[in-house]
């Protein structure tokens, strides 16, 4: 794609974002004007409440959207305008679109301290303008966990109390089995399922027939076997979870969260400390440079050894193509400079690429500018957050 086309797309995105800002502003102004008129009336409280609902209905009918959508826009617009002025300005000039602003507003609504909102407002625009909505959502979760760890811990404790298993029968010979679990347990279960399915033999040892099941089918069969077998699982594989946490947080001097390797999920520090105290937990220390990069390691052959492969999976978390969220454990390790052209099997020359993007790169269809640099394991937030050391926790 040439530069002129890219610039045109950027311009179109900004025009659309400014149009969304104009719509939000108009809805907020119309809602404020209408509700102010209702509140000025001499009517009982129930009459005023019904009058406010009528205002919302009229706006929804004019725009052909639902009343709930109008309520959501009014709440998000008022929240950001009044509490996050930098975000509101970025929305006004088209740097941020409505989807990102809604994600930010939702996080602000969950913050309890004014200082936390101010810290978020000071940091979020630079990140939100250069990342996808999904990446922003994960960043906001990490930011909130760092800003208000006690509140996040209490919320997690309360949520865990609602854990349960649901079974819903479809009537066609299949049923849905779903379980609401603590996030760390669900991550461990998913990782174990992935590894167990991958470890199954490709051919039936008794018949020699090829196993033609998809990965999803294998995982479903494994769950059914594990839950119905009295003799345990056929494939004994331990799950490995990588969690980054400040050493000060780990020993309890501070209360920052742990972060799963993919960067998606903050983990309450109490859970990490409990895991660290377990006899079955294996610590792997990864050495970082002063800005949070994993220091280089070199192998002599084409294939990286297991330790280097694990470190690179931990470092990248996901496919390195900007916006791709394929987990690193399911990616290929690509030599930036091809091995047969002198490229070394080193951390500096290897990066995680999912199979699709690896194939695109191999055939010259993946411009280098779309491959993001390695993650710096140090969030650049406007609040004290010194990172002392990173720890990789492997729970079996």
CB atoms within 10 A of CB 134: 12
Maximum mean pLDDT: which of 244-253, 264-273, 375-384: 264-273
Percent of the chain at pLDDT above 70? 79
- Which of 130, 152, 182 terminates a domain? The answer is 130
Higher pLDDT: 315 or 279? It is: 315
Q: Report if residue 264 sits inside a domain.
A: no
Q: Indicate the pTM of the whole model.
A: 0.69
Higher pLDDT: 19 or 268? It is: 19
Q: Does the pLDDT of residue 237 top 60, yes or no?
A: no
Asked if residue 88 and residue 36 are part of one domain, the reply reads yes
Q: Report if residue 149 sits inside a domain.
A: no
Domain that holds residue 177: 164-228
Asked if residue 122 and residue 185 are part of one domain, the reply reads no
- What's the CA gap between 299 and 101, in Å, rounded? 45
Residue 87, pLDDT score:
97
Q: Does the pLDDT of residue 156 top 90, yes or no?
A: no
- Reported as a single tens digit per residue, the pLDDT across 257-266 is 777 665 667 7
Q: Report if residue 150 sits inside a domain.
A: no
Q: Does the pLDDT of residue 85 top 90, yes or no?
A: yes
- What's the CA gap between 138 and 368, in Å, rounded? 25
Q: Report if residue 183 sits inside a domain.
A: yes
- Reported as a single tens digit per residue, the pLDDT across 94-152 is 999 999 999 999 999 999 999 999 999 999 999 999 999 988 998 999 899 889 988 98
CATH of residue 364's domain is 1.10.30
DSSP structure string for 82-123: HH-HHHHHHHHTTSS-HHHHHHHHHHHHH---HHHHHHHHHH
Q: Report if residue 76 sits inside a domain.
A: yes
Asked if residue 314 and residue 218 are part of one domain, the reply reads no
Asked if residue 107 and residue 17 are part of one domain, the reply reads yes
Element containing residue 351 per DSSP (H, E): strand 350-353
Asked if residue 109 and residue 30 are part of one domain, the reply reads yes
Burial 180-213 (b: 16+ CB within 10 A, else e): eebbbbebbeebbbbebbeeeeeeeeeeeeeeee
Asked if residue 106 and residue 195 are part of one domain, the reply reads no
- Which of 104, 130, 156 terminates a domain? The answer is 130
Q: Report if residue 104 sits inside a domain.
A: yes
Asked if residue 99 and residue 19 are part of one domain, the reply reads yes
Cβ contacts of 97-104, under 8 Å, gap ≥ 24 = 97/13, 97/16, 97/17, 97/20, 98/17, 98/20, 98/21, 98/24, 99/133, 100/128, 100/133, 100/136, 101/24, 101/76, 102/72, 102/76, 103/133, 103/136, 103/137, 103/140, 104/80, 104/128, 104/136, 104/140
Asked if residue 119 and residue 49 are part of one domain, the reply reads yes
Asked if residue 101 and residue 171 are part of one domain, the reply reads no
Q: Report if residue 265 sits inside a domain.
A: no
Q: Report if residue 185 sits inside a domain.
A: yes
Asked if residue 123 and residue 34 are part of one domain, the reply reads yes
With H, G, I as helix, E, B as strand and everything else as coil, classify residue 294.
Answer: strand
Residue 25, pLDDT score:
97
Note whether 78 and 88 are within 8 A (CB).
Answer: no
DSSP structure string for 205-242: TTT--B----HHHHHHHHHHHHHH-SS--SS-------
The owner of tokens 């699982």 is: 233
Note whether 294 and 374 are within 8 A (CB).
Answer: yes
Asked if residue 112 and residue 51 are part of one domain, the reply reads yes
Tokens of 98: 């409505």
pLDDT band at 221 (very low <50, low <70, confident <90, very high): very high
Residue 290, pLDDT score:
53
Mean pLDDT of the chain: 82
Tokens of 139: 């960043």
Note whether 180 and 159 are within 8 A (CB).
Answer: no
Work out the average pLDDT over 354-373. 89
Asked if residue 109 and residue 184 are part of one domain, the reply reads no
- Which of 213, 228, 243 terminates a domain? The answer is 228
DSSP structure string for 67-86: HHHHHHHHHHHHHHHHH-HH
Give the total number of structural domains in the chain.
3
Closest CA to 278 of 186, 157, 395: 395
């Amino acid at each position: 794609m040439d530069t002129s086309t890219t610039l045109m797309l950027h311009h179109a995105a900004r025009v659309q974002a400014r149009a969304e800002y104009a719509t939000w502003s108009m809805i907020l102004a119309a809602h404020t004007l209408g509700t102010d008129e209702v509140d000025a009336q001499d009517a009982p409280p129930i009459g005023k409440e019904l009058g406010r609902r009528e205002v919302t209905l009229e706006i929804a009918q004019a725009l052909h959207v639902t009343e709930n959508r109008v309520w959501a826009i009014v709440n998000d617009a008022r929240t950001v305008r009044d509490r996050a002025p930098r975000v509101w300005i970025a929305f006004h000039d088209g740097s941020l679109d409505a989807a990102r602003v809604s994600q930010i507003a939702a996080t602000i609504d969950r913050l309890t301290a004014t200082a936390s909102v101010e810290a978020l407002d000071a940091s979020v625009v630079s990140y939100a303008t250069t990342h996808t909505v999904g990446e922003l959502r994960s960043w906001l979760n990490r930011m909130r966990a760092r800003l208000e760890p006690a509140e996040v811990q209490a919320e997690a404790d309360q949520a865990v109390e609602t854990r349960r298993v649901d079974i819903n029968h479809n009537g066609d010979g299949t049923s849905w089995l779903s379980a609401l679990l603590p996030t760390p347990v669900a991550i461990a279960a998913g990782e174990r399922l992935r590894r167990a399915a991958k470890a199954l033999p490709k051919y039936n040892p008794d018949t020699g027939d090829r196993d033609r099941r998809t990965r999803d089918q294998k995982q479903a069969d494994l769950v059914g076997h594990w839950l119905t077998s009295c003799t345990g699982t056929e494939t004994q594989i331990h799950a490995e979870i990588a969690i980054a946490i400040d050493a000060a947080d780990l020993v309890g001097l501070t209360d920052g969260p742990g972060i799963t390797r993919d960067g998606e999920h903050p983990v309450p520090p109490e859970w990490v400390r409990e895991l660290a105290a377990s006899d079955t937990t294996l610590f792997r220390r990864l050495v970082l440079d002063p800005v949070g990069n994993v220091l280089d390691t070199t192998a002599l052959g084409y294939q990286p050894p297991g330790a280097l492969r694990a470190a690179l999976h931990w470092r990248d978390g996901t496919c390195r193509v900007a916006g791709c969220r394929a987990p690193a454990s399911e990616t290929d390790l690509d030599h930036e400079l091809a091995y047969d052209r002198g490229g070394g099997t080193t951390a500096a020359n290897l990066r995680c690429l999912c199979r699709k993007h690896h194939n695109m790169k191999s055939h010259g269809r993946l411009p280098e500018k779309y491959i993001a640099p390695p993650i710096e394991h140090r969030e650049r937030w406007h609040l004290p957050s010194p990172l002392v050391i990173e720890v990789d926790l492997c729970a079996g």
